[in-house]
Amino acid sequence: MTSFSCDKHRFHREGGMMEVFPSSTVSLREFGCEQTLLSRPDGSASFVQGDTSVMAGVYGPAEVKISKEIYDRATLEVLVHPKVGLPGVRERSQEQCVRETCEASLLLSLHPRSSLTLVLQVLHDDGALLSCCLNAACMALMDAGLSMSCLFCGVTCAISADGEIITDPTAAQEKESRALMTFAIDSKERRVMMSSTKGSFSVHELQQCVAASQKASEKIFQFYRDSVRRRYSKNL
């Protein structure tokens, strides 16, 4: 575990290996995060999972366009920018997933007629991109100081051609897999908030992946806690 700190931001790295059922292990790639790295947004965070890296910035609560305003809640807008090219149809679907997950966990009714903008920039994609976006989004929202009813984390599972479940797959593993699932798990009851799947799989495999994601999410939430504790602790 390596870490270094300076006045403005803290960088925290950790890896994880854990046992879920006797027959398979849940392993996550080494992940790290950095908060308050940008000066202009109200909250920012960068999340790294293996080689996949996403940077998130949050602006808000700010003024909202009258056409978009909601009288009793804040309006959340999410923008996902890919590393190369303009945002396309795939990015729109990722934006919908991230936005609805954030809307369910943020206390939007505290900021009526305001806007919250969350911008996600993909720095490198080596598999598990949507879950890395979710993790970066959660850390950025925490950094911005927005009130949330629960935290959330993203976990990706891939089912390989021979039925093996791989959590946090690399891009090569994703390509070889016959099914790919991304879940967002909430911190209060470890239930599934968001699910986005691709490929064909059986109900039993779905249940196994959900269980594996719930186990992996515990590790990620512990990492969030440690990150924030290190950031706010006076002695390091």
Residue from 19, 83, 90, 147 touching another protein (CB under 8 A): that is 90
Is 103 a residue that touches another protein (CB under 8 A)?
A: yes
Query: Is residue 26 within the footprint of another protein (CB under 8 A)?
Result: no
Residue 84: exposed, middle, or buried by beta-carbon count in 10 A (0-12, 13-18, 19+)?
exposed
Which one among 95, 126, 168, 174 touches another protein, defined by CB under 8 A? 95
Question: Judged by CB under 8 A, does residue 89 bind another protein?
Answer: yes
107 makes contact with another protein (CB under 8 A): no
Taking the complex as a whole, how short is the minimal distance between the CB of residue 147 and another protein, in angstroms?
17
Give SS3 for 220: helix
Among 162, 151, 225, 152, CA closest to 195: 152
Choices 30-38, 39-47, 139-147, 202-210 (CB under 8 A): range interacting with another protein: 202-210
Cα 151 from chain centroid?
10
Kindly state whether residue 98 participates in binding another protein, applying the rule CB under 8 A.
yes
> Which is it for the CA torsion 60, 105, 31, 91, positive or negative?
negative
93 near another protein, rule: CB under 8 A: yes
Query: Which of the ranges 27-35, 107-115, 157-165, 179-187 carries the binding residues for another protein, by CB under 8 A?
Result: 179-187
d(CA 96, CA 193): 13
Nearer to another protein, 90 or 225 (CB): 90
Angle at 183 between CA 215 and CA 23, to 5 degrees: 40
Q: Work out whether 203 is an interface residue with another protein (CB under 8 A).
A: yes
Contact 105, 142 (CB under 8 A): no
Query: Cα–Cα distance between 124 and 52 in angstroms, integer?
Result: 5
DSSP character at residue 74: P
Interacting residue with another protein among 25, 147, 202, 222 (CB under 8 A): 202
Query: Which residue is listed with tokens 């699932």?
Result: 181
Stretch that binds another protein, among 10-18, 86-94, 109-117, 220-228 (CB under 8 A): 86-94
- By CB under 8 A, is residue 31 in contact with another protein? no
Say if strands 75-81 and 115-124 run parallel, antiparallel, or are unpaired: parallel
- The verdict on 181 binding another protein (CB under 8 A) reads yes
> Which spans of this chain sit near another protein (rule: CB under 8 A)?
89-90, 92-93, 95-104, 181, 184, 186, 189, 191-203, 206-207, 210
